[in-house]
Chain A
Amino acid sequence: MDLVKFVAENTKVGVDLNPFKAGDTVAVHYKIKEGNKERIQVFQGVVLQRRGSGTTETFTVRKISNGIAVERIFPSSSPFIDKVEVLNRGLVRRARLFYLREAKGKAAKIKTKR
C-alpha cells in the first residue's frame, strides 16, 4: 500500500485542506470554469462524512437551500477546491451524520464545540 501512497504524494495537484471533521460547518470555495473565465462558488454547510484516504478521499457537505436540503460530495484532492473555511466546530458523537437527513427541529441542530 505504501506504493500507492507514494504515487499519491508525488502526483498531488490540489491544495492542502484545513483539518475538519464530520459535524463541522464549512464553506467550500470551489472553482468553476465557464468558457475561459474562472470564478469561485461557495458551498456552505455541515460535513456529513469524510471517507476514503489519499487521492480517493471525498467529503459530503449538506446545506438547506430555500427549504430544500442539498448534499454535495467533493473529492478532497480535487484541484478545483480553492480552500475550505471551517466556520464552526460541531460537537458530534459519530463520524457519519446520516441521521441529520431525517432529523427535524431541535434534533437537527449540532452543538458547537467549545
Chain B
Amino acid sequence: MTSIFSADGKNVPCTVLEAGPCVITQVKTVETDGYDAYQLAYGDKKEKSTTKAMLGHFKKAGTTPKRKLTELTFEQELGLGDTVTVDIFSEGEFVDVVGVSKGKGFQGVVKRHGFSGVGGQTHGQHNRLRAPGSLGASSWPSRVFKGMRMGGQTGNVRVKALNLEILKVFPEQNLLVVKGSVPGAKGSFVIVEK
C-alpha cells in the first residue's frame, strides 16, 4: 500500500496492482464443457519447471508457460491466444478485487470474531482474560449449536474486497492503482473483477 495526493490536496490511501497482460489459454463453451468461460494465464514461468502436459496446453494458445491460471467470464467475445490488458479498465470505475487473505494461524475468539474478552483483570479472573465465555444453555438443548463461534484457523481464505475505485491506470506499465487495501500479502496474486 501507498498513498497519493489528489488534485484538491487529499491524501488517498491506495494499492498498486500489476494487471496483466493476461493470455486466453482456453475457451470453454456450453457444448464442450457445459458452461461458458475463458481461462486466463498470467506471469511467466520457466519452461523446465513446467510439465509437458502444461507445455502442450500453452503451445496450443501460442504463448510461453505461465504461472497462474484462472477462469473468468467476459461480456465481449475473445479467442484463443488473445491478450487481455489493463486497457479494459478506466479511471473512476469501481472494481472488486479477490485475493487470499494473510494467514494468521490458530487464533482465539477475540481476534477471530471480535469478542471483547472477560473485560477485567481482577475479581477472580485468573487465566481467562480472552476466553469466549458461555457456549449456550444447559439441560436444554444439552448440546452446542452448530456454527457457534470459537477459536480456529484465521485468515488464509478467499476474500473479495468490493467496490474499490480505480484512481489511476498506467497502460504502458500494466499498472492499476485502486483506492484502499486489497486482500493478501505483498506480491500475491489477485483477481480484479469489473
User: Hey, which bits of chain A sit against chain B, CB under 8 A?
Assistant: 3-4, 6-8, 10-11, 13-14, 54-56, 75, 77-80
Some 24 contacts from A to B, beta carbons below 8 A apart, are A3-B175, A4-B16, A7-B4, A7-B168, A7-B175, A7-B177, A8-B4, A11-B4, A11-B177, A13-B5, A54-B2, A55-B2, A55-B3, A55-B4, A55-B5, A56-B2, A75-B5, A75-B11, A77-B5, A78-B9, A78-B11, A79-B5, A79-B7, A80-B9
Q: Which chain A residue has the least Cβ–Cβ distance from B174? A: A3
When distances are taken between beta carbons in the complex, the residues of chain A under 8 Å from B175 are 3, 6-7
In the bound complex, residues from chain B placing their C-beta under 8 Å from that of A4 are 2, 16
Apart from the given pairs A7-B168, A55-B4, 18 other A-B contacts in the complex at a CB distance below 8 Å: A3-B173, A4-B2, A6-B170, A6-B173, A7-B2, A7-B4, A7-B170, A10-B168, A10-B170, A11-B5, A11-B168, A13-B7, A55-B2, A55-B3, A55-B5, A75-B5, A78-B5, A80-B9
- In angstroms, Cα B4 to Cα A56, docked, is 8
The number of inter-chain residue pairs (CB within 8 angstroms) is 46
Q: How far is the CA of A6 from the CA of B168 in the complex (A)?
A: 12
Q: How far is the CA of A78 from the CA of B7 in the complex (A)?
A: 10
Where the two chains meet, the residues of B that have a C-beta atom closer than 8 Å to any C-beta of A are 2-7, 9, 11, 16, 18, 168, 170, 173, 175, 177
The SS class assigned to the B binding surface is strand
Instruction: Collect the chain A residues with CB atoms within 8 Å of residue B170's CB.
Output: 6-7, 10
Considering the complex of A and B, which 9 residue pairs feature the smallest CB-CB distances, nearest first? A11-B4, A13-B5, A79-B9, A4-B2, A3-B16, A7-B16, A80-B9, A4-B16, A55-B3
